[in-house]
Amino acid sequence: MHIVALKSPDSSDHRSVIHPETIAKLVSLAGVSVSFESGIGRGINVSDQTFADLGLKVLTRDECLLDGDLIITPSSLTLIESASIKKGATVIGMLNPFYALEELKALCDSSINAVSMEFIPRITRAQKMDVLSSQANLAGYAAVLEAAQHLSSALPMMMTAAGTLKPARVFVIGVGVAGLQAIATAKRLGARVEAFDTRDVVEEQVKSLGAKFVKIDLGDTGQTDQGYAKELTSEQIVKQKELQSLVCERSDIVITTAQIFGRPAPKIIDETTIKKMKPGSVILDMAVETGGNVEGSLVDEVVNVNGVKVVGISHLASKVASHASFALSNNIINWIEDFYSEETKNIDFDFEDEVIKSSVLAYDGKILNERFA
């Protein structure tokens, strides 16, 4: 089997789907040869020669698409690219089918198998493949650092000869993987941290990190079987906005992480709330790429509203690209390792397996997930 790795076509995404510290596991598989698109490691300061020295072959993007039996990609492929891939090949990566449905169907129409790593189930044995969690973890860390860059004051309390500097107040909305890491990072930097989530079950996790859990009674909420927050009703969203607005007013940094898998991000901070916040404060919208939690937030822009900076940054995990690439490549290679058969020298698509059943969206010319059929 010839495995090829593509680089991201998005110049703002510096991550690589292969990493020098993880690639040995792939190269060592019996019957496997590995190639990569030239320049794949530029964003993590790894040269083509470094990968070549580890036993990989450098190719152009077109050569990768034409020759690959298993194509690792950080994003969906274009319709033209799909047409150039050999029939029966497999594409694996962050395929983002909710926003690239036509691209998924193009793979299917060309009888190319499609494995979307976003659909890895949240079960114990699949944690090593969970790209959403690994990247969200790093994004939560990066969000705090980026927000701090836009704040004109320090985060920790400082005792100085000139007087005592008060710690910054940080409010994290949404306590998933990204939110928990944002809380932990802000606490490590010395800030006073408050957090809110529609799921009361996360209160203990928030407190264990030394932060205060803000209680807002929204009635019946909860979480899905996969651990995601359930979508709120319009009435619940209005109530959430009203009550969390009071916390936003006293905060120096607000970080929003609320996302619903496969749906546009809910708007939970409106302009009225922003205008109540003090000038110089910062809101970082981690959901800006899926529509945004904050009214007026824009991708890769800083919007000033009455002195409040509303920051939207794409590919936040890419701000720590080397570690993000290490995690991302490990996630994908772990999937390949688990399902590669050294007997057939191919992927064993056993649809009795829960991971295969969840992550394989197209196989043998058919869309398998009814949401995309």
The label of the residue with tokens 């790795």 reads 5
- 122 included as an active-site residue: yes
- β strands within the chain, DSSP E: 2-5, 33-37, 57-59, 70-73, 90-93, 113-116, 158-160, 163-165, 169-173, 192-196, 212-213, 253-256, 282-285, 301-305, 308-312, 340-341, 346-347, 360-363, 366-367
Average pLDDT over every residue of 7-11: 95
Distances (CA, A) of 328 to 15, 118, 188, 355: 8, 11, 25, 17
Query: Average model confidence (pLDDT) for the chain?
Result: 94
Question: Of 16-30, 202-216, 239-253, which gets the smallest average pLDDT?
Answer: 239-253
In the annotation, is 228 catalytic?
yes
- Tell me whether residue 350 is one of the annotated catalytic residues: no
The catalytic position among 61, 228, 245, 353 is 228
pLDDT at 20 over 70: yes
Instruction: Give me the pLDDT at residue 235, please.
Output: 77
67 is a catalytic site residue:
no
**Nearest-CA neighbor of 144 among 34, 293, 286?**
286
Report the Cα 204 to chain-centroid distance in Å. 24
* Predicted confidence (pLDDT) at residue 28 exceeds the cutoff of 80: yes
Tens digit of each residue's pLDDT (9 = 90 or more) over 71-80: 999 999 999 9
Q: What sign has the CA pseudo-torsion 237, 239, 240, 244?
A: positive
pLDDT band at 344 (very low <50, low <70, confident <90, very high): very high
Q: CATH classification of 2-119+320-364 is 3.40.50.720, yes or no?
A: yes
Distance CA 117, CA 132 (A): 8
Candidates 33, 84, 111, 133; catalytic one: 133
Q: What is the pLDDT of residues 189-240, one digit of tens each?
A: 999 999 999 888 899 999 999 999 998 777 665 555 555 556 667 777 777 7
Which of 122, 188, 199, 250 is catalytic? The answer is 122
Verify whether residue 205 is a known catalytic residue.
Answer: no
Quick check: do 2-119+320-364 and 137-314 share a fold? yes
CATH no. for 137-314: 3.40.50.720
Could you tell me the residue ranges of all domains in the chain? 2-119+320-364, 137-314
DSSP 47-64: -HHHHHHTT-EEE-HHHH
DSSP symbols for 334-359: HHHHHHEETTTTEE---TTSHHHHHH
Task: Give pLDDT tens digits for 270-324.
Answer: 999 999 999 999 999 999 999 999 999 999 999 999 999 999 999 999 999 999 9
For the chain, how big is the Rg over CA atoms in Å? 22
CB 11 within 8 A of CB 314: no
What's the pLDDT score for residue 222?
55
105-164 confidence digits (pLDDT tens) = 999 999 999 999 999 999 999 999 999 999 999 999 999 999 999 999 999 999 989 899
> Which amino acid type is present at position 253?
I
Q: Which of 13, 15, 75, 130 is catalytic?
A: 130
| Share above pLDDT 90 across residues of the chain, in percent, rounded to a whole number | 88
DSSP letters of 108-150?
HHTT-EEEEGGG---SGGGGGG-HHHHHHHHHHHHHHHHHHHH
